[in-house]
Amino acid sequence: MQKRKLGNTDLEVSPIAFGGNVFGWTLDEEKSFDIIDAFVGAGFNFIDTANNYPYWVKGNDGGESERTIGNWLKKRRIRDKVVIATKVGGRGKNQSKTNASKKHILKEVDNSLMRLKTDYIDLYQLHYDDEITPVEETLSAFQDLIQEGKIRWIGVSNISPGRLVESLEAAEKFNLPKYQTLQPEYNLCEREKYETLYEPIVLKNDLGVMNYYALASGFLTGKYRTLEDLQKSQRGKDVEKYMNERGMRILDALAEISIEYKTTSAVVALAWLLRRPSICSPIASATSLSQLDSLIQAPQLDLNSSAVMRLNEASEY
């Protein structure tokens, strides 16, 4: 499999990143190991998680995903074969309101390293910008961690376009580490915000984009077409907003193209993302080996310009 260079880092990553939010939520540790083994066994090497996944599950403390990955790393002993990305500054249990502060970041990185059972994190991302902490303070925390060898590169997820630009400019002005990646929400259903507000910044600064909700919480797989279908999984409530004329138009286009290419709607939806010049490695999850097939097959599907245009038109905003 041909790897992709992540922004201006020296990280070579697979064209799909596995979203680790399912570890400790819809997957127990044994099944998580099976999924990671199959993912890595197919030639993929990029796993994304966060220090608070999955805090929303009753009884969890928010570190279950990192612990699962850490236990897998310890058991398999192939740390140098995978790229581990995690995030700091999330929401939920034990999270600070000033989650971008230097104090919070310096405390949380050690917790993540302990749970991941590793002495370094390949990509450390700010999960949610608190819009209070000066951007230079946040970047200086990352600078200390890079100098200490605890993290290698930095990225950011939920941040306003203005604060993103401010952060990039501050890095240049004060000789601080620069964000190399952006993790926005982006898929066929959610295009406008990224394409109009963030993509110009991404292209100008050569940021590596690893977008989340690549399959719109499963809506783009085509399994949700009626309100009754929303009961099929724990994520059904998250896709009700797409149950409209535009959403059905997108699903119809995906279904038609998937028939032409003898594949699935999920594969086509991911392949569409991989055709976007600004997208490096979409994040997607799987809770079974059959679902994992979509992630594995997507980079192999080369959509022609006609298929891409039809999907663009169906999802026009």
The C-alpha angle 198, 202, 204, rounded to 5 degrees, equals 120
pLDDT tens digits, residue range 267-285?
Answer: 999 999 999 999 999 999 9
Average of pLDDT values for 199-228?
A: 94
CB 222 within 8 A of CB 198: no
Helix-then-strand count for the chain, H and E: 11, 10
pTM score of the predicted model: 0.95
The full set of domain ranges for the chain reads 4-183
pLDDT band at 74 (very low <50, low <70, confident <90, very high): very high
Q: What is residue 4's three-state secondary structure?
A: strand
> What's the average model confidence in pLDDT over 49-75?
95
Query: In this predicted model, what pLDDT tens digit does every residue of 146-183 receive, in sequence order?
Result: 999 999 999 999 999 999 999 999 999 999 999 999 99
Cα Rg for the chain, rounded, in angstroms?
Answer: 19
pLDDT given for residue 243 in this prediction: 93
Which CATH code is given to the segment(s) 4-183? 3.20.20.100
**pLDDT tens per residue, range 3-16:** 999 999 999 999 99
Please say if the pLDDT value at position 100 is more than 70: yes
Query: Which residues make beta-bridge pairs with 23?
Result: 27
Contact of 14 with 281, CB cutoff 8 Å? yes
pLDDT of 226 higher than 90:
no
- Which tokens sit at 8? 């201006």
Fill in the DSSP letter of residue 196: I
Interior CA angle at 75 toward 71 and 77, to 5°? 115
Catalytic residue among 53, 186, 198, 212: 53
Mean pLDDT of the chain: 95
Strand order in the sheet with 83-88: 208-209, 181-182, 151-158, 121-128, 83-88, 46-48, 17-19, 283-284
Is the pLDDT assigned to residue 129 strictly greater than 80?
A: yes
pLDDT tops 80 at residue 227: no
Label residue 234 by pLDDT band (50, 70, 90): low
d(CA 185, CA 283): 10
pLDDT at 166: 98
Return d(Cα 125, Cα 119) in angstroms, integer. Answer: 16
Residue range 72-77: average pLDDT? 98
pLDDT value at 53 more than 90: yes
Nearest Cα neighbor of 152 from 200, 120, 184 is 120
Q: What number is the average pLDDT over the span 73-100?
A: 88
Label residue 194 by pLDDT band (50, 70, 90).
Answer: very high
Cis ω for the linkage preceding 282 (within 30 of 0): no
Q: Determine how β-strand 83-88 pairs with β-strand 121-128.
A: parallel
Contacts for 105 with CB less than 8 Å, ≥ 6 apart: 88, 89, 138, 141, 142, 145
Tell me if residue 53 is catalytic: yes
* Mean pLDDT for the stretch of residues 206-233: 89
